[in-house]
Structure 1
């Protein structure tokens, strides 16, 4: 089975449809499947439910799908730096299912493991608990949370082979590995594609059995999500050196 495709558009051909659920890996701007996300935008599919920790920042990645109103609902844990995400939600134009970050991660992991639901103490007695089953174990109350399983997962890896095995680098190893297991079809974009057999089996994070299609995108752009600086005059010299730190 040939899993390698020449570009994002061809890799998503026959997979995309209106009103589907898509899992999108990454955290902020790290490990996001930017080329696959842009190809989804170009396809014009609408009514999407997107599972992602957040939507990055304005003008990049999933935010470009918000610009074109292709996303109907977000299942996320953080709005953060994305003004458009917040504006659409506050205006009632975008459905949002908020999750504590650990709960979101476990819902995805559970979906990939074939677990339909689980219980957690996180959120008991808060707004998160509204409409959810509460059960007592050993004198403590727990919420029932449903596992998540999508129609499509798009993930970004540092290196992959032609069999679909993936290795993520540093912070990009966040939601990507678990999302790769939790969808009917997983499409991966990788910075470096090598022949099957070249990756050290002990270094593989996502086994190729979970990946149906793969593209090579070259080295990812290293963007800064939030730049925090201070004026030069505020820097104090190190004691006894006269050297600024």
Structure 2
């Protein structure tokens, strides 16, 4: 039952090239940066990542992007990562753009064993009708576009069918965790970490503070240990400022 690993390197050692990885975080908050750095050093490539924004330049998944370790990503936002945009528009990266709430639910559904669900988000757009560019060619033309999705009407409202996501691995960041893998997130770091943790067949959590079993109030646990396979203690982390705006 003791899921604590000696190091981040040991925790990610078996992630193979070509694996799919769900990753928690939103912007700079709640990002499992220590695990991502360990994965960079480990050397796995040709990865498919599932995350809100695939990191930022020089941080989080951005460091894997810079080294061409990511082949494909499912994300909802790319605006804060210039290297992401460059690779996508240059035909070097396949991108499945997904509405943000839909992405969270696809992760949660996959973890709950739900293969697909209907949602109104995206109806009447290329999300449902198809045609979203997923990969460009070297001349800027669309080499691969999304396919149309099934739509149905319930009680007079149109819905689109979205598939759940069950990733090979999940990397998440938590404020506290115990040896059984029960996790507590702090403030906005709760973002995509809970559904990512549920999505992974093997979920690896970096935690700032390790506590003993029984110290966490069960009512305070956000991710039960049943979803977590490995725990790595990283100590307190400092969250940077993505965009600083000050008065002139």
**Cα shift readout 1:112-137 (whole Å, capped 9, x = no counterpart):** 11110011111111111111111122
CA shift, 1:230, in A, is: 2.0
Structure 2 length as normaliser, TM-score?
0.91
* Moved >4 Å (runs of 4+): none
**SS of the counterpart of 2:180?**
coil
Corresponding residue to 2:214 among 197, 215, 234: 197
CA shift, 1:34, in A, is: 0.3
CA shift, 1:169, in A, is: 0.1
Question: Is 1:69 aligned to residue 68 of structure 2?
Answer: yes
CA shift, 1:56, in A, is: 2.8
**Cα shift readout 1:133-158 (whole Å, capped 9, x = no counterpart):** 11122222211000001000000000
CA distance in structure 1 between the aligned counterparts of 2:77 and 2:191, rounded to whole angstroms: 14
Q: How does 1:208-219 map to 2 (within 5 A)?
A: 208-219=225-236
Q: How does 1:153-172 map to 2 (within 5 A)?
A: 153-172=170-189
Q: Residue 30 of structure 1 aligns with which residue?
A: 29
CA distance in structure 1 between the aligned counterparts of 2:159 and 2:222, rounded to whole angstroms: 31
**Cα shift readout 1:59-104 (whole Å, capped 9, x = no counterpart):** 0110000011000011000002111011110101100000111111
Question: Is 1:107 aligned to residue 106 of structure 2?
Answer: yes
CA distance in structure 2 between the aligned counterparts of 1:87 and 1:13, rounded to whole angstroms: 30
**Structure exhibiting the larger radius of gyration computed from Cα positions:** 1
The question of whether the paired residues in 1 share the 8 Å contact of 2:13 and 2:42 is answered with: no
The number of aligned residues is: 230
CA distance in structure 2 between the aligned counterparts of 1:182 and 1:103, rounded to whole angstroms: 14
Q: How does 1:13-28 map to 2 (within 5 A)?
A: 13-14=13-14, 16-28=15-27
Q: Residue 146 of structure 1 aligns with which residue?
A: 163
**SS of the counterpart of 1:187?**
strand
Question: Is 1:174 aligned to residue 173 of structure 2?
Answer: no
Q: Residue 125 of structure 1 aligns with which residue?
A: 124
CA distance in structure 2 between the aligned counterparts of 1:169 and 1:59, rounded to whole angstroms: 24
**Cα shift readout 1:173-198 (whole Å, capped 9, x = no counterpart):** 01101111111100000000011111
The question of whether the paired residues in 1 share the 8 Å contact of 2:26 and 2:191 is answered with: yes
Unaligned runs of 5+ in 1: 232-245
CA distance in structure 1 between the aligned counterparts of 2:12 and 2:81, rounded to whole angstroms: 26
CA distance in structure 1 between the aligned counterparts of 2:240 and 2:156, rounded to whole angstroms: 48
Structure 1 length as normaliser, TM-score?
0.92
Q: Residue 95 of structure 1 aligns with which residue?
A: 94
CA distance in structure 2 between the aligned counterparts of 1:135 and 1:18, rounded to whole angstroms: 38
Q: Residue 244 of structure 2 aligns with which residue?
A: 227
CA RMSD of aligned residues (A): 0.9
CA distance in structure 2 between the aligned counterparts of 1:194 and 1:141, rounded to whole angstroms: 47
